């Protein structure tokens, strides 16, 4: 068995031992990575005993639920993700899209249909995260604000309006970025986790026998005693590990070592203490099952607890929203979504981006969820199916990477993947019971995004094939020009082209109709690789084609934004000195019409044309100086 041969992880550059840099990264990781999973104690225990499928509060059930929660945290977060899945990184980047890109690059080389099917599965898993990204802010903030109803029933009618106001404010500030308050995220979550640990420890000290629930026998006995009802409760138990995919997705920001250290040293102990504390409380006060989290604090501490919980859930929601922005950018760069305007909200933090259509879509859907479900208990019923589906797919993708990229023998890879599925599949089956109670929502959102992504990718493939068949090869075009030379004019002309081997339509039309060619003509082709980032030394390739023609191939990773200024700077280092202030930029403007017969189903063709019409134009996306752009229209059939 061989270890992964990817590039060095960021964490491997850290010196041995616990140093200042490691502590700084660990504190930052608390605010960005662990917000979602750290706010689950507000509602997870409650849903097991007071939710849609709540089970009676008896010692056997309390100990069984605690045991299931403990081993879920150990097996899913600790063993599956932090020990094994974290090894499957794409040059230091994690997350289901990065993993899918890793497999996609390998499958394109091997051209295996089965590998391409796995890539489609990974893309669907990424789409499912959009649905859960809408539920997380809704359930997190609503469950925190519901605490004011415990202070006095007079406040109960104001829970929904306050929640909606907080959510609207959260989405409104996205365009300004969170860099100026981001430094507070880590300390606030650290205070939150310490609060969880202390309140839980106080209750455990009053009933220490609850610690026996760490023995797996209690989980097994719970399932044997309660049979089908106990199996269904697994859907509520699963709430303790929602947010685990965030650990994997944010691996590239912090490295594996800070995330692992923070989980095992701070987050998991705090969560376990709080869950066991709530269990200890329920053993003494079964009537507290309607909100055991708030029942652990004295009456004078309810208001500060609500405020702290609200802050923690806002931070957890912020991480999910930022993750949706990041995932959308990756999908755009990999060719699964049309170009959208991506605005950087921080000059120092490259990951701070804002995508307006995604922001407003998330805000609208989140508010609709809050208004439609009205309570966090009902929202909890919508949670789980999409996450468990994503976790199963992650297991399958991990198996593919282990077998085909790391060359692990089947005798090693299959039992390990089987062990993970042994945990994932029962949770998935238990969550299927929630389908009619709201779990259909994230599945519908995931299916909608998957349809959009597949339609866009297929439409671009059809257009590229038609352009390829109709256009002249570059070298043949240059030979034809030498035998029938057009008029030469001074200056540089830069043609953005989607193919490196054929003549751009804009260039062909310009020569055909105007009979002119600039003294220096550059064909610029941006190519997005299946890696997060491409080093500067490998980023561009310049080639002199003859007859005043040059070609630049600019290679970028899916975590990078193409930059013309950067390309010209690197090209200058390779002997091609271009002045972007005086050059003319030629861009093809596509006018799409339905073909006869169409290249895809008519409804998909219309959807593709709608997406194309509403995509950000190349001038804005590549930040080309608008007064130097010449657009050439081309009519294409889809």
Confidence of residue 7 (pLDDT cuts 50, 70, 90): very low
Partners of 182 in the β-ladder: none
Most confident of 67-81, 297-311, 431-445, 589-603: 67-81
Confidence of residue 9 (pLDDT cuts 50, 70, 90): very low
17 or 359: which carries more pLDDT confidence? 359
- Secondary structure (H, E, C), 340-366: CCCEECCCCCCCCEECHHHHHHHHHHH
> For 179-196, how does the pLDDT look when each residue is reduced to its tens digit (9 = 90+)?
666 677 888 899 999 999
Token reading at 221: 């006995």
Helix, strand, coil tally for the chain in percent (to 5)? 70, 10, 20
> For 283-322, how does the pLDDT look when each residue is reduced to its tens digit (9 = 90+)?
999 988 888 999 999 888 888 999 999 999 988 888 888 8
What's the pLDDT score for residue 108?
A: 53
Cα–Cα dist 171/134, whole Å: 12
> For 123-171, how does the pLDDT look when each residue is reduced to its tens digit (9 = 90+)?
888 888 888 788 889 988 999 898 887 777 778 888 999 999 999 998 9
Query: What average pLDDT does range 340-357 have in this prediction?
Result: 75
Q: Is the dihedral of CA 53, 393, 259, 346 positive or negative?
A: negative
Phi, psi of 597, rounded to the nearest 5 degrees:
-75, 160
Query: What average pLDDT does range 424-443 have in this prediction?
Result: 86
Where does residue 490 rank: exposed (0-12), middle (13-18), buried (19+ CB within 10 A)? exposed
Query: What average pLDDT does range 3-23 have in this prediction?
Result: 49
CA 424 to chain centre: 20
Average pLDDT, the chain: 85
What's the pLDDT score for residue 67?
A: 96
Report the C-alpha dihedral over residues 541, 549, 618, 605, rounded to 10 degrees: -100
Give the chain's length: 638
pLDDT at 25 over 80: no
Cα–Cα dist 297/285, whole Å: 13
Half-sphere exposure of 122 (CA within 13 A, CB side): 29
pLDDT at 485 over 80: yes
> Which of these ranges, 121-135, 247-261, 327-341, 345-359, has the smallest mean pLDDT?
345-359
What's the pLDDT score for residue 180?
A: 61
- Secondary structure (H, E, C), 575-625: CCCCCCCCCEEEEEEEEEECCCCCCCCHHHHHHHHHHHHCCCCHHHHCCCC
**Pair 370, 160: CB distance under 8 Å:** yes
Token reading at 388: 């468990």
What's the pLDDT score for residue 105?
A: 66
H-assigned helices in 374-439: 376-382, 385-404, 410-431
What's the pLDDT score for residue 512?
A: 84
Partners of 119 in the β-ladder: none
Contacts of 467 (CB under 8 A, 6+ apart): 498, 499, 502, 505, 636
**Pair 323, 249: CB distance under 8 Å:** yes
Token reading at 431: 């969550």
Confidence of residue 10 (pLDDT cuts 50, 70, 90): very low
> For 354-391, how does the pLDDT look when each residue is reduced to its tens digit (9 = 90+)?
889 999 999 999 999 999 888 888 888 788 888 888 89
Cα–Cα dist 549/518, whole Å: 9
**Pair 518, 294: CB distance under 8 Å:** no
Token reading at 259: 């995330």
Where does residue 65 rank: exposed (0-12), middle (13-18), buried (19+ CB within 10 A)? buried
DSSP, collapsed to helix, strand or coil, labels residue 21 as helix
Cα–Cα dist 127/125, whole Å: 5
DSSP, collapsed to helix, strand or coil, labels residue 545 as strand
| pTM, to two decimals | 0.83
pLDDT at 14 over 50: no
Partners of 590 in the β-ladder: 634
DSSP assignment of 260-281 equals HHHIIIIIHHHHHHHHHHHHHH
Cα–Cα dist 24/476, whole Å: 57
pLDDT at 13 over 50: no
Share of the chain above pLDDT 70, in %: 93
Confidence of residue 474 (pLDDT cuts 50, 70, 90): confident
> Which of these ranges, 112-121, 213-222, 508-517, 608-617, has the smallest mean pLDDT?
112-121
pLDDT at 458 over 60: yes
> Which of these ranges, 64-73, 80-89, 432-441, has the smallest mean pLDDT?
432-441
Helix (H) or strand (E) holding 313: helix 302-333
Query: What average pLDDT does range 498-506 have in this prediction?
Result: 85
Q: Would you call the peptide bond into 180 cis, given omega within 30 degrees of 0 as the criterion?
A: no
Domain range annotation of the chain: 35-438, 459-637
Query: What average pLDDT does range 525-540 have in this prediction?
Result: 88
Cα→Cα distances 12→213, 234, 471, Å: 36, 37, 48
- Secondary structure (H, E, C), 176-231: HCCHHHHHHHHHHHHHHHHHHHHHHHHHHHHCHHHHHHHCHHHHHHHHHHHHHHHH
Token reading at 248: 């994997």
What's the pLDDT score for residue 16?
A: 44
Confidence of residue 5 (pLDDT cuts 50, 70, 90): very low
Cα–Cα dist 285/270, whole Å: 22
What's the pLDDT score for residue 195?
A: 96
Query: What average pLDDT does range 93-117 have in this prediction?
Result: 70
Token reading at 579: 């002045």
Confidence of residue 20 (pLDDT cuts 50, 70, 90): confident
Half-sphere exposure of 589 (CA within 13 A, CB side): 11
Q: Is the dihedral of CA 178, 179, 181, 184 positive or negative?
A: positive
What's the pLDDT score for residue 351?
A: 59
328 or 109: which carries more pLDDT confidence? 328
Tokens 């929904």 sit on residue: 160
What's the pLDDT score for residue 95?
A: 81
Cα–Cα dist 21/23, whole Å: 5
What's the pLDDT score for residue 164?
A: 94
> Which of these ranges, 23-27, 337-341, 416-420, 445-449, has the smallest mean pLDDT?
23-27
Query: What average pLDDT does range 606-619 have in this prediction?
Result: 89
161 or 16: which carries more pLDDT confidence? 161
Token reading at 475: 């070298």
- Roughly what angle, to the nearest 10 degrees, separates helices 302-333 and 179-206? 130
What's the pLDDT score for residue 109?
A: 52
H-assigned helices in 73-112: 96-110
Query: What average pLDDT does range 273-292 have in this prediction?
Result: 93
What's the pLDDT score for residue 532?
A: 84
pLDDT at 8 over 60: no
Cα–Cα dist 526/529, whole Å: 10
Token reading at 458: 């297929």
What's the pLDDT score for residue 630?
A: 87
Partners of 332 in the β-ladder: none
Confidence of residue 4 (pLDDT cuts 50, 70, 90): very low
> For 554-567, how does the pLDDT look when each residue is reduced to its tens digit (9 = 90+)?
999 888 888 888 89
pLDDT at 495 over 70: yes
Residue 289 gets which letter from DSSP? G
CATH 2.40.30.110 corresponds to the domain 35-438? no
**Pair 81, 241: CB distance under 8 Å:** no
Cα–Cα dist 550/548, whole Å: 7
pLDDT at 112 over 90: no
Cα–Cα dist 27/258, whole Å: 9
Share of the chain above pLDDT 90, in %: 33
């Amino acid at each position: 068995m061989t270890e992964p041969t990817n590039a060095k992880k960021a964490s491997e550059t850290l010196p041995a031992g616990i140093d200042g840099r490691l502590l700084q990264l660990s504190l930052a990781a608390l605010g960005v990575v662990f917000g979602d999973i750290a706010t689950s104690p507000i509602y997870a225990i409650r849903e097991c005993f007071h939710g849609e499928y709540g089970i009676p509060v008896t010692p056997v059930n309390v100990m069984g639920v605690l045991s299931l929660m403990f081993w879920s945290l150990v097996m899913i977060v600790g063993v599956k993700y932090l020990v094994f899945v974290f090894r499957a990184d794409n040059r230091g980047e994690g997350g289901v899209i990065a993993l899918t890109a890793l497999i996609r690059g390998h499958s394109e080389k091997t051209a295996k249909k089965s590998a391409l099917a796995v890539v489609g599965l990974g893309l669907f898993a990424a789409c499912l995260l959009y649905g859960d990204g809408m539920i997380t802010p809704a359930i997190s903030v609503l469950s925190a604000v519901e605490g004011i109803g415990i202070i006095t029933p007079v406040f109960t009618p104001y829970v929904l309006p306050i929640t909606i106001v907080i959510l609207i404010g959260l989405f409104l500030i996205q365009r300004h970025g969170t860099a100026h308050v981001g430094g507070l995220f880590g300390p606030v979550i650290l205070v939150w986790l310490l609060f969880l640990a202390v309140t839980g420890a106080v209750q455990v000290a009053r009933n220490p026998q609850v610690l026996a629930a760490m023995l797996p026998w209690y989980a097994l006995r719970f399932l044997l005693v309660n049979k089908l009802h106990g199996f269904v409760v697994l859907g509520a138990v699963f709430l303790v590990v929602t947010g685990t995919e965030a650990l994997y997705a944010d691996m590239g920001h912090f490295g594996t070592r800070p995330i692992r250290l923070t989980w095992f040293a701070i987050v998991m102990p705090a969560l376990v203490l709080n869950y066991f504390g709530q269990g200890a409380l329920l053993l003494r006060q079964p009537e507290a099952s309607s909100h055991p989290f708030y029942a652990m604090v004295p009456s004078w501490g309810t208001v500060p607890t609500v405020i702290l919980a609200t802050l923690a859930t806002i931070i957890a929601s912020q991480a999910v929203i930022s993750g949706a922005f990041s995932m959308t950018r990756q999908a755009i760069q990999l060719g699964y979504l049309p170009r959208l305007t991506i605005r950087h909200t921080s000059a120092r933090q490259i990951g701070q981006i804002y995508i307006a259509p995604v922001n407003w879509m998330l805000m609208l859907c989140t508010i609709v969820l809050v208004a439609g479900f009205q309570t966090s208990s009902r929202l909890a019923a919508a949670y789980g199916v999409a996450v468990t589906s994503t976790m199963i797919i992650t297991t399958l993708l991990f198996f593919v990477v282990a077998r085909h990229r790391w060359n692990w023998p089947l005798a090693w890879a299959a039992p390990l993947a089987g062990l993970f599925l042994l945990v994932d599949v029962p949770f998935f089956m238990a969550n299927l019971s929630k389908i009619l109670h709201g779990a259909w929502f994230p599945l519908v959102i995931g299916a909608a995004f998957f349809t959009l992504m597949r339609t866009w990718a297929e439409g671009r493939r059809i257009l590229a094939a038609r352009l390829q068949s109709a256009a002249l090869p570059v070298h043949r075009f240059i030979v034809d020009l030498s035998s029938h030379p057009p008029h030469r004019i001074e200056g540089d002309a830069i043609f953005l082209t989607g193919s490196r081997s054929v003549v751009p339509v804009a260039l062909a039309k310009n020569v055909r109709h105007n009979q002119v060619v600039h003294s220096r003509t550059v064909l610029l082709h941006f190519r997005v690789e299946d890696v997060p980032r491409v080093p500067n030394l490998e980023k561009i390739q310049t080639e002199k084609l003859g007859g005043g023609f040059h070609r630049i191939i600019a290679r970028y990773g899916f975590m990078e934004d193409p930059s013309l200024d950067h390309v010209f700077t690197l090209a200058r280092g390779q002997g091609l000195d271009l002045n972007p202030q005086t050059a003319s930029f030629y861009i093809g403007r596509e006018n799409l019409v339905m073909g006869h017969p169409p290249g895809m189903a008519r409804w998909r063709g219309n959807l593709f044309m709608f997406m194309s019409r509403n995509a950000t134009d190349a001038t804005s996306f590549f930040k080309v100086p608008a007064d130097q752009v010449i657009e050439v229209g081309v009519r294409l059939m889809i």
